[in-house]
Structure 1
């Protein structure tokens, strides 16, 4: 099961100088910040190709599938070839936010059947900290790639499957704690979490410098959340982006996990799905439909359209 997840800045520097350099993908994106391409133009790893998360790593949003549905396989294949990725070529992906966005590309490429895909540990900050060079501007498009993709190499689940995992396995909520508790919900229709899900914020996967914590530390973290006893593990977040970061951390720790792509954005848009609030997983999924349960008061179900705050 275990595959290499991370590449260090020093390793990437050496690989870029080799006779078989990897494709480097820059997934500069953050919730509430639409200026990723501008940040890329202001400074990026030489040869890195900018990847737009909203348009290239996701299909158009919908209430049923959430804010970042998985892209259509043919559309995604066209994008990956447009980035210049060639058959058999290694791929290193990064962002400038601890890889919380880049992990979406890492997961999608693994889902599409590629095996030599890694995250730049520490993201762009590690490259800068090592004193390595940056390019500016928008370079010419790379020569088209010829990579062959086969969707379905990693497991996914839907809302029903997520509910089953919360009841019979381990379902991790990768969002910030205040969103899990229902204290705040800046983007999705209702506040709270899937009843039975355990809070495990993505930010706690990282050290202060933005690199992933050591494998043994991550393993202890997830075992405390119940991973050791759970036969099946699932992960969701706001819209299936930072949940991929959690899956990467779980893989580093030696666990396999299933992604719920629709995540809270799809679950909370369905009035027939219950929502729990408060700091604890809350009870079984037999709570009232369309309501909230737990340590804090029920929230309304009117849609919000805010662009700030929290994990995706």
Structure 2
């Protein structure tokens, strides 16, 4: 039964390739469109640099205030219909004055595609990233690392936001390390998600088991742990649980294994390296118990203006057309929960991904949530079927600087298994949980 939940790797990668097109089908009900923008600045660099990573030592960190991110590297993943949809989403029309910045080849590539679609008011922003004025960046961009950063760290180079002490890279997936054995990031260990969650509801394992696992992995509370997965949300699930356990510095490879593969960086094959177990975690477990909520705690967030229990499930799941899982029979949703978006089905997260599988811009995600009355000043807890998709959005919200966030571990699986819990089905809008 577990197999049907997490093995759709090829489907996930295909979904990432067609993310922009899929979003149109999953964003329901759609918010009202704003008037077309008269002037737009577009950053054509990869999202890591837009988010705040400097391209090189001493380079600017962040992006021009208010700039959109349309990376030149995404263009091969976007057909004209998908690119047109992206422009429409951001209220960019042929009448809009578009200013591009980035490297010359990046600007030229984006300009050529825009021209092809009839956008001719396109110029080059000559003074972009001028360090004499404030730039915008993801508040905690360092929590979403990129392949070049890991590669530089592994080779002993000086990197921005370097780990304070010992560090480990781990690939995360469900079950035996079949794909890992064929090809993985050099030096990376392997973490089976069966070691962090268990049946019958696939909630996290006990705190004692978590503590034992950290020791086995050679991880202390002050070890920097860098996680990646063939499925981003598998790594995010482990990251969120490690933060709960008390690991202070947990990073996620934005875009996962695909990002490393696309970067053309070295890989290796074979068994995980031998690791010396940690003698002691060095701190109480859990270190941050507030990051994972129980069912009673989740219920306490419903139908409040200062809190949101947020469903990270596809629209068909949210309205009760499908449960999303072969092993979860009830259909429907937690009554009073707000829709936080997800993807086309239970194995996709297109609503949060750029065409290359990296995290969509913080502005786009925040706007998507705000339309459903989910805001950073609230107490916000994410859930999905059993925790994977919710953990991915938790990691994004954390990087965005949202403070009072958590995951309702039991999710729909736990909630729907108890007859007395209120559920709802059918089409509904943001105001359905706004009292």
3-state DSSP of counterpart to 1:106: helix
Aligned partner of 2:299 in structure 1 is: 163
Aligned residue for 2:427, secondary structure, equals: coil
Structure 1 segments (4+ residues) deviating >6 Å: none
Partner of 2:249: 116
Change (3 A) 1:111 1:223: same
Give the structure 1 partner of residue 286 of structure 2.
151
> TM-score scaled to structure 2, two decimals?
0.58
Taking the TM superposition and a 5 Å limit, the aligned residue runs for 1:192-207 are: 192-202=332-342, 203=349, 204-207=351-354
Per-residue deviation, residues 114-165 of structure 1 (Å, max 9, x unmatched)? 2211100110111111111111121343222343353041523222322231
SS in 2 for 1:24: strand
**SS of equivalent residue, structure 2 residue 334:** coil
CA distance in 2, matches of 1:262, 1:141: 34
Query: Which of 208, 224, 229 matches 1:95?
Result: 229
Q: Tell whether the 8 Å contact from 1:112 to 1:153 is kept in structure 2 after alignment.
A: yes
Q: For this pair of structures, how many residues does the alignment match?
A: 272
Map 1:1-312 → 2, pairs under 5 A: 3=140, 4-18=142-156, 22-29=167-174, 34=175, 36-54=176-194, 56-58=195-197, 60-62=198-200, 67-86=201-220, 88-97=222-231, 99-146=232-279, 147-149=281-283, 150-155=285-290, 156-168=292-304, 169-185=307-323, 186=325, 187-202=327-342, 203=349, 204-228=351-375, 231-255=378-402, 256-280=404-428
SS at structure 2 position matched to 1:109:
helix
Question: How big is the alpha-carbon RMSD for the aligned residues of Structure 1 and Structure 2?
Answer: 2.3
Q: CA deviation at 1:74?
A: 1.9
Map Cα deviations across residues 237-258 of structure 1 (whole Å, 9 max, x no partner).
Answer: 1112221111112222332312
List gaps (5 residues or longer) in structure 2. 1-138, 158-164, 343-348
Aligned residue number for residue 307 of structure 1: none
Q: Residue 115 and residue 199 in structure 1: after superposition, are their counterparts in 2 closer, same or farther (change >3 A)?
A: same
Contact 1:83–1:145 under 8 Å retained in 2: yes
Structure with larger Rg = 2
TM-score w.r.t. the length of structure 1 is 0.80
Partners of 1:139 and 1:159 lie apart in 2 by: 37
SS for the counterpart of 2:170 is strand
Structure with more relative contact order (C-alpha pairs < 8 Å, separation 6 or more): 1
For residues 22 and 151 of structure 1, the distance between their equivalents in structure 2, rounded to whole angstroms, comes to: 20
More helix by share: 2
The whole-number CA distance in structure 2 between the counterparts of 1:90 and 1:18 is 15
**Aligned counterpart, 2:88:** none
- CA shift in 2, pair 1:258/1:247, >3 Å: same
Instruction: Sort the Cα spacing of 1:16 and 1:86 in 2 relative to 1 into closer, same or farther, 3 A.
Output: farther
d(CA) in 2 for partners of 1:260, 1:205: 19
- Whether contact under 8 Å (2:172, 2:234) holds in the other structure is yes
Distance 1:218 1:172 in 2: 13
State whether residues 237 and 264 of structure 1, in contact with CA within 8 Å, keep that contact through their aligned partners in structure 2.
yes
Structure 1 residues 152 and 180: CA distance shift in structure 2, 3 A: farther
Q: Answer yes or no: is the 8 Å Cα contact 1:171–1:236 preserved in 2.
A: yes
For residues 241-287 of structure 1, the C-alpha deviation after alignment (integer angstroms, 9 at most, x for no partner) is 22111111222233231211111111010011122112326857xxx
Query: Is the 1:163–1:194 contact (alpha carbons within 8 Å) kept by the matching residues of 2?
Result: no
Q: 2:376 & 2:144 partners in 1: Cα distance?
A: 26
